[in-house]
Structure 1
């Protein structure tokens, strides 16, 4: 992929005046007022884009991506790179039409843009067919011009053949292909461009053809014998074309010029972008000691530390895959699954040529918890070259570890080009943001970042490109419901098509859900029927073209033997039992299934045990929640001891935020009834760490689990919150499995985990005969809800790769709203089956329309018309909370809330990088506001809550 440099003189002499007269980028009115006329000629932008794409192919694109594109095009790597660079070079040829060239004409001072064309001999009277009707978008014009040039060069012209497929790529360079109904008219418009116009189109296309050497590759395209270039190949190529266009359009680094021409400059300009080379994995050697040494190096373990059985089995399974494949690691909490996954990722990445890794977690909080661990690992796994890292969720700027990666503020100092030392982990300025961040070497984020790969969304090709070049690790995979699992299954099919290695982690994975995921990934590898999967535990399952292999891992010794019992659901009964159990003190975790229920428990217990109760849930300000969880980890973590940091007595009331990825150790667990796998996750907080005997109260030396939320165990009736969240079928199955064992004989970890989960999720859980009517009704309801969820999930999902003939099939709905920051939130909402919610920033409303932050801000009144100071803006941006879903559950309610809060939001926030697009929730002096006729209040103890009665 070498090409001679093109000097300005070469551009002037090898192209006609007509070709050089087309503009691609214009200056702004301010520059024109000073007498300057900076602009960029179309052939210059074509040259820039071609050069950037060539650089991306050689220096940025991972081997795994290049190999998939080469296979899709059926040609060697160098020839495939030529096709990609050529497509980038010609992607804007459609700007050489009057619909585009004349759009600046009405603006004062821009009349000369059309005059240049006329002076160069190009008629500027727009043809009737183009003038009468919607403007032909330049991407669609590019589609027609490129297709026609390829046909003239002898490529097959029938619909669906290679000339059409390649031209569809340039058509989609703005993130989505054109609408099919507009294409016939575009053909008619381009046919009217004859004479000098047609000759100039040919000249510009020949210019890029000569520059790239594409004609030497065209014979390979003519000889294609396999299936046509389909959507998977098109997506990856389009992603690279979009990248090249965005980079070449950056006027800070590819500046406009007085005469529109600058010559060949791509390589020099690319030095200004922090596009790190592909990550090069350095896996451990094959013998046991090499793995032990590797783990000690990567995770700073002591010299005596050796790999645990799960970690050794996972490394061996990854090595046996010899490239791409699916690896599922099922093991209890504390077995080192994260370290096993990262080690497997290095082994898989090295064998398949991946250029990075994506680690996905269920929530922002769990992603933040993983970020520091992955960052420390990346610093030791990145080799000698710089590694780019991105934290992929909407609150990443509030994560100090992420902000501290570079000397500048990520996303703020746009012009910074600070050099980084080799081996550094950096937050690259260009490789950041909601669409480009996924292109960084290492990405940590929420699972939505993977699921949205299966969503019809603008610029999805960039997400496909970013994920196709990585090893994907998805944590807590059991946490996804039917709706999300359908999106995950579709994403796995596409990842398998791209031959992306995927590692799934779970402490408790029902076999039916595992089967769904295995079949999804395997669909691109084999059409043989899948044998029944094992219910052994712990277990490593590997999936490749060679089949499915399962490795049973030796269980560790039992580390928990807990008694389980149910208690009355009343608050008085709860307080009495806690009083009885904590006569000698103790740290108790009480998990409730809803925020409202947790707040009720907190209120009651705080009256009984004043000063000893704290509350944790998602309705606290994000900054307050993070602070509270950090403090909780410190006082209930492994280092704290009774009398030395650990409280004598503490009651921690929490929702599911305490269910996973929170390293705390309590003496007693009280939990609402929940599905079995989630109950086991909750039990993971009980007697979690080894402690001296005197570090636990006498009454709580033996682990106990008390289960609430069961109104009537004889004829099962459950708390309404539990029913709303989990459904009656799973609660009945769980209670039946509990009565069939743990409630009589106790629970032993890890011995009982697999049997309990599989018994609960089997087709025939041990339902007592006198429950049969309730069970049958619950099963019917659950099946109807799951069928409905599957249908809803299919509305905006893309088809599986085998059914995606072209890019068109990935954009049947073309939801334009997903192309905005706020719209992306709606896009993420599409991959979760939940009611719409609104995120707000509570503030204190002051006299005269001024306001104060609810927390921070040093008590200063702020003018709503002005941008707040940076420090205050940061405090505000970190102080978000979501309104209860009952306020926004349906569209009319949502619109009513937005109509109320948007005018009350300080106008100055729109000028702030941190606050633009946010909604305020202005509270009065009592920290209250009326929304949709209901009173909402916020206080430090309860968080956001609805005021009821005389409160």
Structure 2
């Protein structure tokens, strides 16, 4: 390395300055070792087999791939060995560098410190970009192809959430005063070699022309680097060691500490014991659907996509859990993530999964992953508070004593922010997570740390429930997520009770397109005949023939028009109240689902007055998505106890919004609903007579539908159109088509009618015969198509691009947007995560 190495020993640089109350610096070399140790332990837990295979193929020329990956993750903060960073705490750096006797080193330090004091805001080189600048240069010197060298450098240097662009890396290499040349560059090379040697790796001087980093490998390396850094930065486990003389001894301690940290986090792979349906769910015995799914996945030996289409109440969730357990076992995965449409469904699914884990004797528990889930997280995992995290980069305002590293704009918004993500939303990294689908969709939105979410999913089976229920914008994001799942070899299970056959084919094709050919776009699909109840498996080799199965017998669904005047008077619900009274005045239960909170409140107030005079006044319940989180959770528990599968005292009326159609496993005798698209209408009807009971006040499954039709005697053309009680929720085109489809036959043979109705509304055109309604339908169809086009475009703009050879992975975090933009504001606000 030459005589200059004596000027700057690799143990001299600091990485963490310590907290205000405990200002003990942590050497840079120690933090790099800490991070490498964590990465080595997490390698097979966080990263899926397909991602690991691409990493191992691309990095094998450098040595044992797992060790090479660990070392690269460890080197993420290499850029801190620079005048710009070390001068942030000139007092610490000067004290640690004074023994070197190097005038050039101390002079560079003084110059950088003067620059810091001369500017009110940080204008120097962010240390992540400094890392990328040096590593790109070093890998090029080793013979690695230029684009690959830049890609590796960007991935490692982007651990604060934004992957540096190539132009940034080139500009950083020209900032000699910030980056440091001469002894600084030599010391960084020596630091790289020192850390590598501790894992028996080397960085050859030349000849590394075969090194590669395909996109899946880059995603995995970026995600593993980030999460390993966060764990290694936590003083709960990795305490500061200001003076270290024996690095091999320190490495051994770091490995033991990393193992302890991961054990305390509960991040052990899920190893299901008995994956048979009967073994996982002893009671009741598996039905036809569950047996069919079990047989289908029993011999799957490669990543793929499974679609399960079955009526509501048929046991899709259990079938999906059994399939996920089997695929985890057969494919060597770490766990699963179940993405639900709402928080309410997430809470219910979490309970089912925890019960399963307990029954199998596993110590793992499902981590809730949605906004506000921190308070609900299992006590099995440690509470990792932000205050426990060591200082990464001190802020200017507090003269280096704060834990806020907001001084580096854009590239690293602040260690508090990223560590808070880790402390509160680490559920995606945990082996088993359950939450809203939005958390998975954020993996494909152009935003900071999206690569981390994708890395976390790579080792899991991704289960998506109610896959039919999303608007065009969200569906566009889901399409892109499935494409990337195929690219990264992430196995997916999709569930639906009302999925159009064409949509099913689209979803399968998205996954296969990503897996089959990184450069291919999804194929244009032609219209498909209505599907039935079936399960379908597809992988990289093709699609197996769908398997059909028998479904439980259901009583016909009888639709009843409920008339309502379009005024704000409480008398609006008079007919509604009369129909309720006729059917459940003395016994039984009902649900009323409105499309807006305002309408739900108005009906609830009406019932408070009207039901008081009944022979047996029912207890009234109210549930919407706008309730306080704690209040809503408490009400959901009450409803589950009163109207769930095991409930006996079922007297009451529940008034609510869309949360009732997909939330809890509730069972009602009769129901009234506002008009809505056919798939959601049938979804709501699935809460009628959901469980077998010996006696009900009404034997028929009756669904009252608020009548949007005009009066029969309406003569003026304008008054002969549909008049929906609200206009902002759901597309009018779909509501009109639904009313025409169900109005033709008000008694539906269930569940056979479901796929036919969905096909009619979403694939075929249900044109009204009456002239005024036809014109209304045609106008709304044109608006629907225009809006659909806009929503698709906005979804594609927000989403990551499909992987194209030669494209840099830094496109992931270029032109970033808010990661929470997973749904449009228009409509379905009840389902916001």
CA contact (8 A) 1:487 1:797 kept: yes
Secondary structure of the 2:705 match is strand
Secondary structure of the 1:674 match is coil
Give the corresponding residue for 1:731. 735
Q: Give distance in 2, aligned partners of 1:680 and 1:585.
A: 25
* CA separation of 1:689 and 1:793: change in aligned 2, threshold 3 A: same
* CA separation of 1:103 and 1:316: change in aligned 2, threshold 3 A: same
Query: How do 1:461-610 residues align onto structure 2 when only pairs under 5 Å count?
Result: 461-526=451-516, 533=528, 535-570=530-565, 571-610=573-612
What are the Cα deviations for residues 686-715 of structure 1, in whole angstroms up to 9, with x where unaligned? Answer: 2222222xx323xx2222221105142773
Q: Give distance in 2, aligned partners of 1:242 and 1:605.
A: 54
Query: How do 1:36-51 residues align onto structure 2 when only pairs under 5 Å count?
Result: 38-51=24-37
How far did residue 352 of structure 1 move?
2.1
Query: How do 1:828-867 residues align onto structure 2 when only pairs under 5 Å count?
Result: 828=820, 830-834=821-825
CA contact (8 A) 1:431 1:437 kept: no
Query: How do 1:650-799 residues align onto structure 2 when only pairs under 5 Å count?
Result: 650-692=652-694, 695-697=695-697, 700-712=698-710, 715-721=720-726, 723-741=727-745, 743=746, 746-768=747-769, 770=771, 771-799=773-801
Give the corresponding residue for 1:906. none
Query: How do 1:17-416 residues align onto structure 2 when only pairs under 5 Å count?
Result: 18-31=9-22, 38-57=24-43, 61-71=47-57, 73=58, 75=60, 79-105=64-90, 112-113=95-96, 115=98, 118=101, 122-125=105-108, 134-157=123-146, 160=147, 162-179=148-165, 181-190=167-176, 193-215=180-202, 221-223=208-210, 229-259=213-243, 263-264=250-251, 265-275=253-263, 276-282=267-273, 284=275, 294-301=276-283, 305=285, 307-381=286-360, 386-387=363-364, 389-399=366-376, 402-405=377-380
How far did residue 410 of structure 1 move?
7.8
Q: Give distance in 2, aligned partners of 1:520 and 1:353.
A: 24
Secondary structure of the 1:772 match is helix
Give the corresponding residue for 2:392. none
Secondary structure of the 2:654 match is strand
* CA separation of 1:218 and 1:683: change in aligned 2, threshold 3 A: farther
Q: Give distance in 2, aligned partners of 1:592 and 1:170.
A: 50
Q: Give distance in 1, aligned partners of 2:176 and 2:298.
A: 54
CA contact (8 A) 1:79 1:217 kept: no
What are the Cα deviations for residues 78-131 of structure 1, in whole angstroms up to 9, with x where unaligned? Answer: 7321321221232222111111111113x7x77525645655872423698995
User: Which is worse superposed, 197-206 or 672-681?
Assistant: 197-206
Secondary structure of the 2:175 match is helix
* CA separation of 1:167 and 1:509: change in aligned 2, threshold 3 A: same
* CA separation of 1:280 and 1:65: change in aligned 2, threshold 3 A: farther
Q: Give distance in 1, aligned partners of 2:230 and 2:586.
A: 65
Q: Give distance in 1, aligned partners of 2:659 and 2:443.
A: 26
Q: Give distance in 1, aligned partners of 2:576 and 2:460.
A: 49
Point out where structure 1 has 5 or more consecutive residues left out of the alignment.
Answer: 1-13, 33-37, 285-293, 416-428, 816-825, 839-881, 886-951
How far did residue 409 of structure 1 move?
6.2
CA contact (8 A) 2:8 2:105 kept: no
Give the corresponding residue for 1:849. none
What are the Cα deviations for residues 534-574 of structure 1, in whole angstroms up to 9, with x where unaligned? Answer: 52221112221222234242332531213212121132222
How far did residue 58 of structure 1 move?
6.0
Give the corresponding residue for 2:397. none
Aligned length: 760
CA contact (8 A) 1:50 1:244 kept: yes
Query: How do 1:912-923 residues align onto structure 2 when only pairs under 5 Å count?
Result: none
How far did residue 434 of structure 1 move?
4.2
Q: Give distance in 2, aligned partners of 1:623 and 1:295.
A: 35
Aligned equivalent of 1:629, options 617, 627, 636: 636
* CA separation of 1:691 and 1:29: change in aligned 2, threshold 3 A: closer
How far did residue 501 of structure 1 move?
0.7
Normalised to the residue count of structure 1, the TM-score between the two structures is: 0.74
Give the corresponding residue for 2:404. none
Point out where structure 2 has 5 or more consecutive residues left out of the alignment.
Answer: 390-418, 566-572, 713-719
Give the corresponding residue for 2:717. none
* CA separation of 1:380 and 1:765: change in aligned 2, threshold 3 A: same
Secondary structure of the 1:779 match is helix
How far did residue 455 of structure 1 move?
1.0
What are the Cα deviations for residues 204-228 of structure 1, in whole angstroms up to 9, with x where unaligned? Answer: 223234334444789895135xxx6
What are the Cα deviations for residues 406-463 of structure 1, in whole angstroms up to 9, with x where unaligned? Answer: 6x76869979xxxxxxxxxxxxx99963443211110111111111111122222221
Q: Give distance in 2, aligned partners of 1:414 and 1:533.
A: 57
Secondary structure of the 1:102 match is helix
Q: Give distance in 2, aligned partners of 1:475 and 1:357.
A: 13
How far did residue 487 of structure 1 move?
0.7
Normalised to the residue count of structure 2, the TM-score between the two structures is: 0.84
Secondary structure of the 2:237 match is coil
* CA separation of 1:311 and 1:19: change in aligned 2, threshold 3 A: same
* CA separation of 1:605 and 1:250: change in aligned 2, threshold 3 A: closer
* CA separation of 1:220 and 1:239: change in aligned 2, threshold 3 A: farther
Query: How do 1:811-830 residues align onto structure 2 when only pairs under 5 Å count?
Result: 811-815=813-817, 827-828=819-820, 830=821
CA contact (8 A) 1:235 1:465 kept: yes
* CA separation of 1:608 and 1:250: change in aligned 2, threshold 3 A: closer
CA contact (8 A) 1:472 1:503 kept: yes
What are the Cα deviations for residues 9-47 of structure 1, in whole angstroms up to 9, with x where unaligned? Answer: xxxxx9875333222222344445xxxxx3222222233
CA contact (8 A) 1:51 1:85 kept: yes
CA contact (8 A) 2:307 2:495 kept: yes
Secondary structure of the 1:653 match is strand
Secondary structure of the 1:177 match is coil
User: Which is worse superposed, 557-566 or 360-369?
Assistant: 557-566
Taking CA–CA contacts closer than 8 Å with sequence separation of 6 or more, which of the two structures ends up with the larger relative contact order?
2
Secondary structure of the 1:651 match is strand
